[in-house]
């Protein structure tokens, strides 16, 4: 029996593993434990649904076909490339916008102490009622398992799709989204062989999205201040928000590192601290924004 095209689409799919969540589920003993687990996984699901308040982004999202599913210790996200939006704009902008949204969502989750490791791929996706089968989900799942560190990794197929897409030429070099959203990992596998892949540079994406407003009072003060002082207020607010986000991010890494019970798990957070410390000085000279771990 032929399948319906209404249930089959091509698109990008992310498989996201919530680090430490399976152990948390297996050791849950009380209703309160379970309630906390459900609250956290639903918060991750909401973050990746990425419902923007911006009118133009909301209009774009209404034209896309997006699915966000939560499964125990993981979340699956799919964006169809055959939506009203892609018919109007092509595939490059919707895909890069979704990758940017995923990076922001990852930053939001880490801010709540929920660390993710994931894979993203491009390929076919079939979903009908309770049946789900997907080429891109299988490859995204495999990519997550090979990511090694707490990042969301692109498969080679997806990286090739975005890096060679003809619509990249419409952007100037300083705002070209492949360059600004992605970062290359270079390291070694457990067997010592070299490993490299591209992943979402979520720290840089979050910091680029930071605005200058620190409070309602500060915003009102800026609006009523003489024109010459407004830029100063905005600049001070922006710098304060950058420092505060980095300090909070560092604190979350430190807490996760301290809770880790073995060297293998601790190494993941040590890598994340190194990543944090490489990006932070690009946005603030404050040493308080760095992540200093007690390493053994």
pLDDT in tens, 150-159: 999 999 999 9
The 3-class SS string of the chain reads: CCCCHHHEEEEEEEEEEECCHHHHHHCCCCHHHHHHHHHHHHHHHHHHHCCCCCHHHHHHHHCCCEEEEEECCEEEEEEECCCHHHHHHCCHHHHHHHHHHHHHHHHHHHHCCCCEEEEEEEEEEEEECCEEEEHHHHHHHHHHHCCCCCCEEECHHHHHHHHCCHHHHHCCCCCCHHHHHEEEEEEECCCCCEEEEEEECHHHHHHHHCCCCCCHHHHHHHHHCCHHHHHHHHHHHHHHHHHHHHHHHHHHHHHHHHHCCCHHHHHHHHHHHHHHHHHHHHCCCCHHHCCCCCCC
pLDDT the model gives residue 89: 63
Same domain, 74 and 175: yes
Same domain, 174 and 64: yes
Q: What is the pLDDT of residues 134-149, one digit of tens each?
A: 999 999 999 999 999 9
Number of folded domains that form the chain: 2
Q: What is the pLDDT of residues 273-296, one digit of tens each?
A: 999 999 999 999 999 999 999 887
CB 14 within 8 A of CB 152: yes
Same domain, 176 and 283: no
Same domain, 169 and 153: yes
pLDDT the model gives residue 175: 87
Q: Which of 13, 94, 92, 99 is nearest to 57 (CA)?
A: 94
- Mean pLDDT for the stretch of residues 31-56: 83
Of the residues 190, 209, 228, the one at which a domain ends: 209
Q: Answer whether residue 208 shows pLDDT above 70.
A: yes
Of the residues 163, 184, 209, the one at which a domain ends: 209
Q: Which residues contact 40 (CB under 8 A, 6 or more apart)?
A: 18, 21, 112, 114
Same domain, 109 and 121: yes
User: Residue 112 maps to which CATH number?
Assistant: 3.30.70.1230
- Mean pLDDT for the stretch of residues 44-71: 70
Same domain, 88 and 155: yes
Same domain, 155 and 110: yes
- Mean pLDDT for the stretch of residues 229-242: 94
Q: Answer whether residue 196 shows pLDDT above 50.
A: yes
In this prediction, residue 57 has a pLDDT band, given cuts at 50, 70 and 90, of: very low
Q: In percent, how much of the chain has pLDDT > 90?
A: 75
Q: What is the pLDDT of residues 3-21, one digit of tens each?
A: 777 788 888 999 999 999 9
Of the residues 209, 236, 257, the one at which a domain ends: 209
The chain-wide mean pLDDT, for the chain, equals 90
Same domain, 22 and 67: yes
Same domain, 189 and 244: no
Q: Answer whether residue 223 shows pLDDT above 80.
A: yes
Q: What is the pLDDT of residues 163-189, one digit of tens each?
A: 999 989 888 878 899 999 999 999 988
Domain span at residue 253?
A: 211-296
Same domain, 174 and 236: no
Same domain, 201 and 255: no
- Mean pLDDT for the stretch of residues 184-196: 90
Same domain, 34 and 102: yes
CB 22 within 8 A of CB 94: no
pLDDT the model gives residue 56: 45
- Mean pLDDT for the stretch of residues 108-113: 96
């Amino acid at each position: 029996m032929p399948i319906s095209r209404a249930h089959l689409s091509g698109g990008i799919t992310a498989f996201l593993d919530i680090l430490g969540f399976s152990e948390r589920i297996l050791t849950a003993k009380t209703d309160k434990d379970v309630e906390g687990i459900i609250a956290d996984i639903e918060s991750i699901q909401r973050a990746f649904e990425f419902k923007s308040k911006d009118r133009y982004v909301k209009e774009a999202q209404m034209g896309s076909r997006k699915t966000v599913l939560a499964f125990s210790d993981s979340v699956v996200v799919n964006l169809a490339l055959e939506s009203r939006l892609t018919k109007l704009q092509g595939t490059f902008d919707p895909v890069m916008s979704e990758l940017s949204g995923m990076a922001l969502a990852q930053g939001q989750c880490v801010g709540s102490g929920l660390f993710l490791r994931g894979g993203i791929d491009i390929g076919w996706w079939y979903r009908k009622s309770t049946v789900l089968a997907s080429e891109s989900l299988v490859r995204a799942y495999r990519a997550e398992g090979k990511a090694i560190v707490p990042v969301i990794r692109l498969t080679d197929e997806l990286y090739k799709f975005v890096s060679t897409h003809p619509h990249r030429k419409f952007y100037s070099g300083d705002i070209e989204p492949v360059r600004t959203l992605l970062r290359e990992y270079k390291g070694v596998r457990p067997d010592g062989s070299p490993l490299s892949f591209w992943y979402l540079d979520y720290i840089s994406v979050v910091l680029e999205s930071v605005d200058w407003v620190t409070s309602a009072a500060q915003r009102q003060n800026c609006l009523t201040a003489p024109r010459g002082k407004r830029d100063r207020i905005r600049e001070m607010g922006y710098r304060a928000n950058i420092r505060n986000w980095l300090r909070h991010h560092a604190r979350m890494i430190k807490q996760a590192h301290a809770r880790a019970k073995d060297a293998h798990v601790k190494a993941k957070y040590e890598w994340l601290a190194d990543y944090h410390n490489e990006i932070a000085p690009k946005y603030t000279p404050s040493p308080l924004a760095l992540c200093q771990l007690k390493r053994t």
